[in-house]
Amino acid sequence: MKLAIVGATGMVGTVMLEVLKERNFKYDQLLLVASKKSVGKTISYLGKLYSLIDLEMALEEKPDIAIFSAGGNTSLNWAPKFAEIGTTVIDNSSAWRMDPSKKLIIPEINGNLIDPNDKIIANPNCSTIQMLMVLYPLHKKYKINRVVVSTYQSITGTGVKAVKQLENESNNIEGEMAYNYQIHQNAIPHCDDFLENGYTKEEMKLSNETNKILDKEIKVTATAVRIPVMGGHSESVNIEFKNSFVISDIKSILSTTSGVTVQDNISELLYPMPFYSGGKDDVFVGRIRQDFSCTNTINLWIVADNLRKGAATNAIQIAEKVVKKFF
């Protein structure tokens, strides 16, 4: 079984290699794909030296599975070419997420929908994944009417350039800017491009992807904020249900949900924080409380490593589903 990692030298790509190792993902041949300028350079991985190849070279190798994390334009141009030769493409960009002919998959929620004809499978947005891991079991029990979410997103979601900007600003060094403003000691209410409706693409992803994955009737409104945190996205989420609930039952449901860890004990000051989510695959939830201002409504706080479950781990979990079903 040939596995290709497209964007192997990027932030998500390097995490993918870590996750493959940790999950003991089985393959016969691993292809590490990068840009043309990186071709011929080597990466040491699991005691072996791998030469980086470009997309054309990878296509000639006809991999069984290709996990893309190289940006939307690359995915739009190259994913169909790989799909045409029979490769199953798992794409981490936003290129195919809202394409009605493509599945948008969180394995714990709708992994059962994958079938042999799915040659391009979309990986959801990082903020969507962590939110829906919590919403899904609650929606099954109580039915969700509306969600109001504010995100507090790590600079790693922007990429290496943003990490460098924060490092430079922290050390009073002038350098290239990933953002329009200083991010050090700041919060920027601007993730991705603005749309005509006044929302950003990131904010609309939370709404549109929730509707596609979970339920088209759920109303979602979002505000996405970039904060000077090196790793881990946080979300303040207000959920209005159709049916009544008991808070203890909410906690019980989430405590028994695979991939979710409840950290909710205010007497011991236990709640999720991005600093402690780093390197972990679970989604952490806490500050679970009834909203006294609205009927059948709760507030909670969700945190996850955006490079792990928000990107690399979810993509590899999809690959595991594909292998289990069709190889």
* Calpha distance 180→68 (Å, rounded): 28
Please name which of 32, 44, 11 lies closest in space to residue 126, comparing C-alpha atoms: 11
Amino acid at 301: W
Q: Is residue 141 within 8 Å of 326, Cβ to Cβ?
A: no
Question: 83 pairs with which residues across the strands?
Answer: none
Residue 233 annotated among the catalytic residues of the structure: yes
Question: 151 pairs with which residues across the strands?
Answer: 224, 235
Catalytic residue among 126, 139, 184, 191: 126
Residue 270 DSSP one-character state = B
Residue 191 annotated among the catalytic residues of the structure: no
* Calpha distance 285→131 (Å, rounded): 10
Catalytic residue among 139, 184, 191, 233: 233
Please name which of 96, 14, 12, 101 lies closest in space to residue 52, comparing C-alpha atoms: 14
Residue positions annotated with a catalytic role: 126, 233
